[in-house]
Amino acid sequence: MYAPKGVKTSSDFPIPDKMKAWVLGEPGQLSLKDKPVPVPKRAEVLVRIDAVAICATDLEIIYHGPPASIQGGLPFNKNFTPGHEYMGTVAALGPGVDEYRIGQRVTVEIHAGCGQCKRCREGMYTSCHNYGLNYGDVDKGHRANGFTTDGGFCEYQVNNINTLVAIPDEMSDEEATLVVTAGTAMYGLTELGGLIAGESVVVTGPGPIGLLGVAVAKALGAQPVILTGTRDNRLKIGLELGADYVVNVQNEDPVEAVRRLNGGKGVDYVVECSGAPNAVNEAAKMVSRGGKICLAAFPREAVPVDIAHIVRNNIYLFGIRGEGKSATHRAEAFMSQKRFDATKIHTHTFPLEDLPTAIRYAKDRVEDAIKVVVKAKGVSATHKVAAE
């Protein structure tokens, strides 16, 4: 029975010594294996994982490797478990933890920075200077679930208390997996972007971050909020999440459409979530002079950018990596107040043991899949091998 020294457990929450975990072998190959249940250290808890959402970045990692970095290199054949958008129930407390109780439902931020570098001290722990340094002689204690340390496609995981967000009983497991996605949009709009009520926002690209970017911008009081994209079914969800206008870029020039919809003027912010090769140039034409562009997606290849236009018009351009400055807590506050219904982007749920099917739905957008979730409860003991 699981009873590590210094770790607080409860008879209400019996924990096995071993768990099922998906492990990445060669690119695209996942197998379900037994692993020891991890042990929380100081300021960490053990979370029983109840649900995990699949992210486009998981697909990048599973098929190509980066941005995961395991022991300073590619994540293949290192007994690595991916998955980073998870929620669950606190099952055991590491030494010194009294901030959470066993049995409490939580959702989890991805990044626990080292806590000792300049960026961590500023609250920008997703830009930790010691990113990926969590092993060997250079162990700085950095963790990014499913990127630099084991993630959530398994039954239990350890998490620093600073990465936990308490959630209300009324919030479903699936909705709770979306808090971190909304938190990323929040971080881009407020902490990095400085959005205030009444400013105008364009979101380009109706993926999960784009759609929740619309919802968060509207909840923050932005006006108008305009969403651009190519798929009418996703643009429709954008309208349901609060977009004032949507533009299908296959029918209309997006720059002209944005100016027409905003009284002939450019907007205050563009949140770029499409990764299209010309997206930065179009965004720079959508913002007014002195406007801001948050880059949340990127094309695979380097692309030409009209820098002169950006300079002459005093345009701010910044990238965003994940969720920082506890923005996730504020996103959760919006969601528990039901300021928007994030579940509109959740389309499918599978058991954890069917992860390969879930990945196929997410990758190939089977049945218009947007957010696909796997749930761990009741996983059977059968071992499966998936090679896609």
Encoded one letter per residue, x for contact with Zn ion by CB under 5 A and - for no contact, window 98-127 reads ---------------xx--x--x-------
- Please give the Cα distance from 218 to 343 (Å, whole number): 16
- Please give the Cα distance from 3 to 167 (Å, whole number): 27
Stretch that binds Zn ion, among 49-57, 169-177, 211-219, 287-295 (CB under 5 A): 49-57
Nearer to Zn ion, 57 or 190 (CB): 57
Identify whether the C-beta of residue 31 lies closer than 8 Å to the C-beta of residue 25: yes
Nearest residue to Zn ion on Cβ basis:
55
Size of the site for Zn ion (CB under 5 A): 8
Considering only residues 327-346, where is the footprint of Zn ion by CB under 5 A?
none
Encoded one letter per residue, x for contact with Zn ion by CB under 5 A and - for no contact, window 57-76 reads x-------------------
Identify whether the C-beta of residue 132 lies closer than 8 Å to the C-beta of residue 115: no
Nearer to Zn ion, 75 or 224 (CB): 75
Neighbouring CB atoms inside 10 A of 97's CB total: 20
Alpha helix segments (H runs only) across 13-142 = 56-63, 118-121
Nearer to Zn ion, 128 or 154 (CB): 128
Nearer to Zn ion, 52 or 91 (CB): 52
Contacts of 40 (CB under 8 A, 6+ apart): 7, 46, 92, 93, 94, 97, 158, 159
Among 19, 30, 47, 55, binds Zn ion (CB under 5 A): 55
Considering only residues 123-152, where is the footprint of Zn ion by CB under 5 A?
128, 130
* By CB under 5 A, residue 242 contacts Zn ion: no
| Cα dihedral 94, 95, 97, 100 in deg (nearest 10) | 30
37 closest CA partner among 5, 86, 1: 1
CB of 187 to Zn ion, least distance (A): 13
Structure tokens belonging to residue 99: 């901030």
CB of 128 to Zn ion, least distance (A): 3
DSSP 3-state of 142: coil
Structure tokens belonging to residue 98: 């009294």
CB of 2 to Zn ion, least distance (A): 29
CB of 200 to Zn ion, least distance (A): 27
CB of 113 to Zn ion, least distance (A): 4
Identify whether the C-beta of residue 90 lies closer than 8 Å to the C-beta of residue 104: yes
Nearer to Zn ion, 137 or 169 (CB): 137
Q: Residues interacting with Zn ion, by CB under 5 A?
A: 55, 57, 113-114, 117, 120, 128, 130
